[in-house]
Amino acid sequence: MSLWSKWRKRAPWILHYNAGSCNGCDIEILAALSPRYDLERFGVLNSGNPKQSDIFLVTGPVTYRSRERLIELYMQIPEPKVVVAVGACTATGGVFRGMYNVEDGIDRYIPVDVYVPGCAAGPQLIIDGVMEAVAIWEQKTQALEEPFRLFGGMGTIGEALSRRNTLEVKDEQNHREP
Amino acid sequence: MSPIWLLLLPLVAAAGVRYGTRPLGVIGVFWLLSSLIAMTLQEALIGIHASWLDWPIALADVGLLLFFAYVGRNEGDVRVFGLAIVQMLLFVLIELFGAHAEGATFLIDDASRMMLFIVNVVGGAIVYYAHAYMRFEQGDAKRFLIYLLLFIAVMNAIAMSNHLMHFFFFFELTTLFSYLLIRYRLDETAKANALRALWMNQIGGIALLIAALVASSSFDTLYLDALTQHAGGAAVMIAVFVALGAMIKGAAMPFQSWLLGAMVAPTPVSAILHSATMVKLAPFMVLKIAALLHVSFAGALISLFSMAVFVYASFLALSKTSLKEILGLSTIALLALMVSLAATGEERAREIVLMLILFHALSKALLFLVAGVLEKHFHLKDIEDMAGLIYQAPRSVALLVFGFLSLSVPPFGLLLGKLFALIFLAQMMQEQSWALALLLLAALGSTLLALLYFRLLSHLLSRSGERAAMAHETIGWGFGVPIAALSLLSVVLSLGYFYDAFGLGALLATLALLVVSALTLRSFAKVERVKEYACGERAPFVGALAYYTLSEAYTAKFIQGFGLFFGLIALAGVLS
Amino acid sequence: MSILLALLAPVLGALVYGFERIVRARMQRRKGPPLLQPFYDMAKLLDKRLVMVHALHVSLGVVHFILLWVAVAMLFLGGHLLLILFVHLFALLALVMAGYSVRSPYSHVGANRELLALLAYEPVLILVATGFYLTTGSFYVEEILTQSPKLGPLWMCFLALLLVIPIKLKKSPFDALEAHQEIVGGVEIEYSGAFYEVLYMAKMVEYLFVYGLVWLFAGDSWLLGLVLVSLVFLLVNAVDNATARVRIDHLLRIVALGGLGLATLNLIGVSL
Ligand code: SF4
């Protein structure tokens, strides 16, 4: 594994969006960033700007009014990106499930990679979720680099060109293919 | 070549335009020839004795003053009429006193050479441009061109003259021409603005007359070079009144409205002439008598006043939306800077002022020419309408950007001039600590101006995303030639100046830096374009400019304050 | 040596920045990110997909970085102080133009604030430079660094510079230009990926610029220079941790009146 790929996932910057949550999980997210839990020690920054973010931390069940914003924000994060749904209501609608003005969970609109349970989700769990997201982020990056491996016979060349040439990942790839 | 040719050539050209069939050719030849002469004038002081001119000029003067009085009566303007009468009285007094010393009628020193260079090179470019421009205007184009050419002749004369009364005569002639040029369109505003320009400049004329009166009564000479040899109270008083006249010509603060009025007038060519050449008389005249102001209280007052005008005019420009008005105010500001430096009377300031005069004339003329193109081709006057203009008019905008950069970025001369001005003021502080006030104001003013230029520039470039097709605009030879000539000159001279100041190494480094910066201007065709971030909203944002202004009451107070200060300078002059 | 420093300015700046993040974290009793975090950030940013609003916007950002680098290089190589300030000014103006060149309200507000702040501190910096000239007789950094420390006669200029530093480094209480929670970074908002990295590096180079100016007060004394820089470093971060943001108009007033007042008083004192 090159130095590059070792280094490249150590700076997950976060975009935090409240899609109609009760604010409980938002407070917990901020707590995770606070000195006590110090999420910054993993290089995390709360950037607040989709264009400079990698991890999309969403809370809330998606109210009707927040749908478009949610999608717009998701679209504005440049690839590779990961979505973390924080809190029960974000995953399934939680306490808001079935209400007249909400969708039940954000995965109706955007693909979610990590679900963090809890109502509210605790800071430790959130940190865990973010770390999980970082792992998925690395996988996604590798998947993005996959086009190098197209065209069967060209595979070897692709192998050489690709930044990804570790065994584990290859195995995992074979596993995924039908 | 004798500099007298510079007086004759415009007259010949005017005749050529009047009776010839190819005005553009005549103007082109005139432009080339007079530029050549102006560029090759000898270094040394040249004096030309022609005292036989005194009487004809005095006679013409009487005629001119009578004409002003007639204009005042005809247009029903008491001020013009009254001021003309006052001038007449003063004039008679001076002629009664009479000055008997002999001297050189025309004298060419370094300041005159710079002035002649500007008038002929830049002025010539403007006349050339005017020919193309006048096709868009109604009215008698030939007459207009002839005015311009005569105007250049007068400017050449004033740059060379050494006799205070000749100086006054030509000064009043420039006033007359600006009056005629501003009212060229003959609509209501044009007439009103022309009258205002007239009476305000008449006050300047009176200041000159007072100076002449003092000169002839106390020193018995009206020759400027002789006057600068004297010292003492009367000499300072002369200098102060010449400087006051100069500052009115330079549209310093209480009198700013005449130059701004000239901008509003529908014929931008006159605005160009005013802004780029005629108002340069202000620093030029102060330079002529600067030696008298050296280390004097009145000189210090003038410096401070002008520096304050520099700051205030720059600030005022931040609240304007019309491109020409902004250019006009920034002209006033920079003129005030030059006057302020010149009025310190230091030898070191002289060269800086000359350089500022030169580069300011080149850049401002260029900007006005492009503004004229925008006005004629795209009907744009207001900077608010120019947002994202780079799409419709990439070439004009590129030129505008170039013009603004040449006013504010190294290695262009104007910035170097400002830099040296700051250094000079710091040096001056070591001897005279009040120069700190000048330094403070200069630092403030130059920051304000940078702010002004870049705020404007950024507005031109503002856009969202990129559209594939850019409009193709053609500027045309009539506009293109003078614009190209001025741009080229400003680049070449700036590089020369920079080389002179910092040496080859620094020049090459700066050029390399420019090239590297230019290399970053790429199209990035392979990168995807996205919309701006707007909190997830899709509502379009229409970019607006921020304006900074004082409330009406404060503005009025400031102007009054400048008026008082102006009076104070006159008082200091009388008392010294 | 100084050439090497000038060439490595972005790397050096990144180290300073990484160190600063640790110090700030320790002040809040946190662990903080590793020292090399800015490089990790770089690796990440370079790995992101490139998007931009329009080409000019990006180009101006790059010009901003280059000019800033040049300004710092000139400072290290002993250039003319006023010229350095001018180059620095143009670097910032390029950024302002970039900020205005996109149609984003945050970017515009940020650019506008950047301009206002420039207006407040640029005269102060010019006066500080003049202070050096009056005490050492030269505008050249080279020359200033061969003379005895000028902290004594210029202590008020030093205080004025202290007022300016938080603006330059985007630190509380004078971080209204960037104001992450309010205008999402201001001018830098529309940059992403590798293009943001350029701006990020520019920020780090700015650290060197500011601390370089602080170093000037120590003249030829390395020891005093080190002490001054580290004290200012700690002070700025402590203040950053302990204060809230002031509004831009207050910032303008405080810096323009306070900074200019102090510097002017000092210059009067020096020139008398
Ligand atoms: S999961 Fe619970 S605490 Fe969290 S936002 Fe939803 S409702 Fe609030």
- Convert the pLDDT of each residue in A50-64 to its tens digit: 888 889 999 988 888
Share of chain C above pLDDT 70, in %: 99
- Bond prior to B411 in cis (omega within 30° of 0): yes
Q: Do A43 and C51 touch (CB under 8 A)?
A: no
Tokens standing for A70?
């949610």
Of A75 and B575, the one with more pLDDT: A75
Name the minimum distance, in Å, from the CA of C82 to any CA of chain B: 7
Question: What pLDDT was estimated at residue B43?
Answer: 59
User: Three-state SS for C80?
Assistant: strand
Question: What pLDDT was estimated at residue C123?
Answer: 87
- Contact status of B528 with chain C (Cβ, < 8 Å): yes
Tokens standing for C93?
């103006």
CB of A59 shorter than 6 A to ligand 1: yes
Phi/psi for B265 (5° steps) reads -55, 145
Question: What letter does residue B410 receive in the DSSP assignment?
Answer: T
Q: Which amino acid is at B308?
A: A
**Would you say residue B522 lies in a domain?**
no
**Would you say residue B387 lies in a domain?**
no
Under 8 Å between Cβ of C205 and C168: no
CB of A60 shorter than 6 A to ligand 1: yes
Q: How far apart are CA A69 and CA B533, in angstroms?
A: 11
Question: What pLDDT was estimated at residue B502?
Answer: 77
DSSP-derived secondary structure for B71-96: HHHHHT-HHHHHHHHHHHHHHHHHHH
Smallest CA-to-CA distance from B315 within B461, B403, B462, B441 is with: B441
Which residue range is the domain that position A10 belongs to?
Answer: 2-138
Q: Do B534 and C105 touch (CB under 8 A)?
A: yes
Domain count, chain B: 1
Smallest CA-to-CA distance from C90 within B318, B408, B407, B310 is with: B408
Q: Do B458 and C111 touch (CB under 8 A)?
A: yes
pLDDT band (50, 70, 90) for residue A177: very low
Same domain, A122 and A164: no
Question: What pLDDT was estimated at residue B486?
Answer: 81
Same domain, A61 and A83: yes
- pLDDT tens readout for residues A100-142: 888 888 888 888 889 998 888 888 899 999 888 888 888 887 7
Tokens standing for A28?
């917990």
**Would you say residue B527 lies in a domain?**
no
Q: Do C101 and B462 touch (CB under 8 A)?
A: yes
Under 8 Å between Cβ of B277 and B331: no
**Would you say residue B140 lies in a domain?**
yes
pLDDT at A150 over 60: no
Distance from Cα A89 to the centre of ligand 1, integer Å: 6
Pocket probe mutation, ligand 1, options A16, A17, A18, A22, max atoms within 8 Å of Cβ: A22
CATH code of the domain covering residue A22: 3.40.50.12280
Which residue range is the domain that position B115 belongs to?
Answer: 4-377+551-575
Question: What pLDDT was estimated at residue B219?
Answer: 77
Tokens standing for A119?
């109502």
The average confidence (pLDDT) of chain A is 79
pLDDT at A165 over 70: no
Name the minimum distance, in Å, from the CA of A87 to any CA of chain B: 22
Question: What pLDDT was estimated at residue C101?
Answer: 80
Name the minimum distance, in Å, from the CA of C41 to any CA of chain B: 21
- The β-bridge relationship of strands B46-48 and A114-116 is unpaired
Q: How far apart are CA B548 and CA B230, in angstroms?
A: 46
Same domain, A60 and A20: yes
Q: How far apart are CA A63 and CA A99, in angstroms?
A: 10
Tokens standing for A32?
């995770």
Q: Do C70 and B513 touch (CB under 8 A)?
A: yes
Q: How far apart are CA C155 and CA C138, in angstroms?
A: 18
Tokens standing for C239?
């203040």
How remote is the C-alpha of B54 from its chain's centroid?
A: 29
For residue A47, the chain C residues in CB contact (below 8 A) are 180, 185
Same domain, A82 and A126: yes
Place of tokens 């003329």: B365
Under 8 Å between Cβ of C236 and C172: no
Name the minimum distance, in Å, from the CA of B284 to any CA of chain C: 27
Same domain, A114 and A150: no
Place of tokens 């004025």: C160
Q: How far apart are CA B439 and CA C263, in angstroms?
A: 12
CB of A102 shorter than 6 A to ligand 1: no
- The β-bridge relationship of strands C51-52 and B528-529 is parallel
Quickly count helices (H) and strands (E) in chain A: 7, 5
Question: What pLDDT was estimated at residue A178?
Answer: 41
Question: What letter does residue A55 receive in the DSSP assignment?
Answer: E
Dihedral over alpha carbons C154, C160, C163, C164 (to 10 degrees): -100
Q: Do A40 and C34 touch (CB under 8 A)?
A: no
Tokens standing for C27?
């002040």
pLDDT at A47 over 50: yes
Question: What pLDDT was estimated at residue C118?
Answer: 86
Same domain, A29 and A94: yes
Tokens standing for A135?
């792992």
Sign for the pseudo-dihedral over CA of C39, C44, C48, C54: negative
For an interface test with A, the pick among C23, C26, C47, C188 (most A C-beta atoms closer than 10 Å) comes out as C47
Question: What pLDDT was estimated at residue A148?
Answer: 53
Question: What pLDDT was estimated at residue A157?
Answer: 54
Q: Which amino acid is at B163?
A: H
Question: What pLDDT was estimated at residue C248?
Answer: 83
Q: Do C32 and A79 touch (CB under 8 A)?
A: no
User: Three-state SS for A86?
Assistant: strand
Distance from Cα B324 to the centre of ligand 1, integer Å: 59
- pLDDT tens readout for residues C64-91: 998 898 889 888 887 888 888 888 888 8
Tokens standing for B202?
């008449």
Query: From the CB of residue C5, how many other CB atoms can be counted at a distance below 10 Å?
Result: 16
pLDDT band (50, 70, 90) for residue A1: very low
Smallest CA-to-CA distance from B518 within C94, A56, C209 is with: C94
pLDDT at A5 over 70: no
**Would you say residue B383 lies in a domain?**
no
Residues in chain B with pLDDT values less than 50: 468-469
Torsion-angle region of B197 (φ positive above 0: left; ψ -120 to 50: alpha; else: beta): alpha
Distance from Cα A137 to the centre of ligand 1, integer Å: 25
How remote is the C-alpha of B303 from its chain's centroid?
A: 18
Smallest CA-to-CA distance from A162 within A135, A138, A143 is with: A143
Same domain, A155 and A76: no
Q: How far apart are CA B329 and CA B418, in angstroms?
A: 17
pLDDT at A146 over 70: no
For residue B465, the chain A residues in CB contact (below 8 A) are none
Pick B533's closest partner by Cβ from A17, A51, A70: A51
User: Three-state SS for B437?
Assistant: helix
Place of tokens 């997210």: A29
Q: Do A49 and B533 touch (CB under 8 A)?
A: yes
- Contact status of C242 with chain A (Cβ, < 8 Å): no
Q: How far apart are CA B38 and CA B17, in angstroms?
A: 22
Q: Which amino acid is at C90?
A: F
Torsion-angle region of A151 (φ positive above 0: left; ψ -120 to 50: alpha; else: beta): left
For residue B538, the chain A residues in CB contact (below 8 A) are 68, 72
Same domain, A9 and A42: yes
- The β-bridge relationship of strands C51-52 and A82-86 is unpaired
Average pLDDT over residues C165-189: 79
CB of A88 shorter than 6 A to ligand 1: yes
Question: What pLDDT was estimated at residue C98?
Answer: 85
Phi/psi for C34 (5° steps) reads -65, 165
Strand partners, B202: none
Query: From the CB of residue A100, how many other CB atoms can be counted at a distance below 10 Å?
Result: 5
Of C168 and B562, the one with more pLDDT: C168
pLDDT at C95 over 50: yes
Domain count, chain A: 2
Same domain, A34 and A97: yes
ipTM of the assembly? 0.83
Same domain, A9 and A36: yes
**Would you say residue B421 lies in a domain?**
no
Please state the atom number of ligand 1 nearest to the C-alpha of residue A88: 1
Strand partners, A83: A56
Place of tokens 């070897």: A156
Q: What angle do CA B403, B257, B450 make, to 5 degrees?
A: 30
For residue A16, the chain B residues in CB contact (below 8 A) are none
Helices (H), B318-346: 323-343
How remote is the C-alpha of C112 from its chain's centroid?
A: 18
Same domain, A133 and A176: no
Q: Which residues contact A153 (CB under 8 A, 6 or more apart)?
A: none
pLDDT at C197 over 80: yes
pTM value is: 0.83
Same domain, A151 and A125: no
How remote is the C-alpha of B98 from its chain's centroid?
A: 33
pLDDT at C212 over 70: yes
Burial status of residue C23 (CB atoms within 10 A of its CB: 0-12, 13-18, 19 or more): middle
